[in-house]
Amino acid sequence: MTDLLTSWNDGVAKQAILDFVAKVTTPNAPSFVPPADRIAVFDNDGTLWVEHPLYVQAFFVFDRVRQLAPQHPQWQTQEPFASVLNGDLKAAMAAGESALVELVMATHAGMTTDEFGAIAKTWLATATHPSLKRLYTELVYQPMVELLAYLRANGFKTFIVSGGGVEFMRACAEQIYGVPPEQVIGSSAKTQFEMRDGNPVIMRLPELYFFNDKAGKPAAIQHYIGKRPIAAFGNSDGDLQMLQWTTAGPGETLGLIVRHTDGDREFAYDQTPMGSLKDALVEADKKEWIVVDMQRDWQRIFAFQ
């Protein structure tokens, strides 16, 4: 079964994963964990797929703004919409995550969840990354896809716990990660059940319901899963509390952080504000979390390499 991790170079990180899984799956060992409690949680952006130069969902949002602009003439002068329409994405994102949330609310609402899922699926089937020139669904980290499969082959239940929109991620998570919709936890908009021409629909409202980041992640894990995970995987300070919560549990646990160190095959940005990784790296040292150096530990990053 270790053959499942073929894109991992031999080294400390791979060995730590193999050792951890062996410990929790060896029957009669004191470290044994029954399958029902083998819960593993994964951040998405920057942990399972690219997030540079911007989150995949941000590119989706920009395309939605351009598409919906004719119906919203005021966007031509109203920020952050105006900057998006002028192609100045840096200016559009100047206000940080609050600008992104505003853009999401304006472009992801006023339709049913079924309709939104279809729009997201269509976009994901055709949209490509600005510099890597590949479908976003090809820009998933092959070693992490193998790790997801390896954990599941060892009786784990794998969950995504990400700041991304839950319905956006659900539009591709099963296809690219093998994670079904009910195991995707993300940020969400308010929704409302209503009758439309006698048919029940669930409408998306332009209002944030839950933002799944930082201290929100462990609270969401308890809320949605109801169990403390035994393994957590992230890549930024947004994952710090999720890793703390997971690795403070009783028994064997695994915390792992992915560092973006490979400017040739992907992007080297782990010391920049994007996907900021400072506090979690300090804590990783104290708590003996595994730190994956993408350049050193991954034999390949994408399946097509």
| Residue ranges binding a second copy (CB under 8 A) | 36, 39, 113, 157, 166-167, 170, 174, 180-184, 188, 191-194, 199-200, 202, 209, 215-219, 222-227, 241, 244-245, 248
Smallest gap from Cβ 161 to a second copy, in A, equals: 12
Place of tokens 């169990």: 227
Q: How far apart are CA 247 and CA 229, in angstroms?
A: 8
Smallest gap from Cβ 117 to a second copy, in A, equals: 9
Nearest residue (CB) to a second copy, 123 versus 168: 168
Beta bridge partners of 204: 191
Nearest residue (CB) to a second copy, 39 versus 274: 39
Smallest gap from Cβ 180 to a second copy, in A, equals: 6
Q: How far apart are CA 252 and CA 230, in angstroms?
A: 7
Which tokens go with 231?
């393994």
Nearest residue (CB) to a second copy, 142 versus 246: 246
Nearest residue (CB) to a second copy, 45 versus 213: 213
Smallest gap from Cβ 286 to a second copy, in A, equals: 11
Nearest residue (CB) to a second copy, 6 versus 192: 192
Smallest gap from Cβ 107 to a second copy, in A, equals: 19
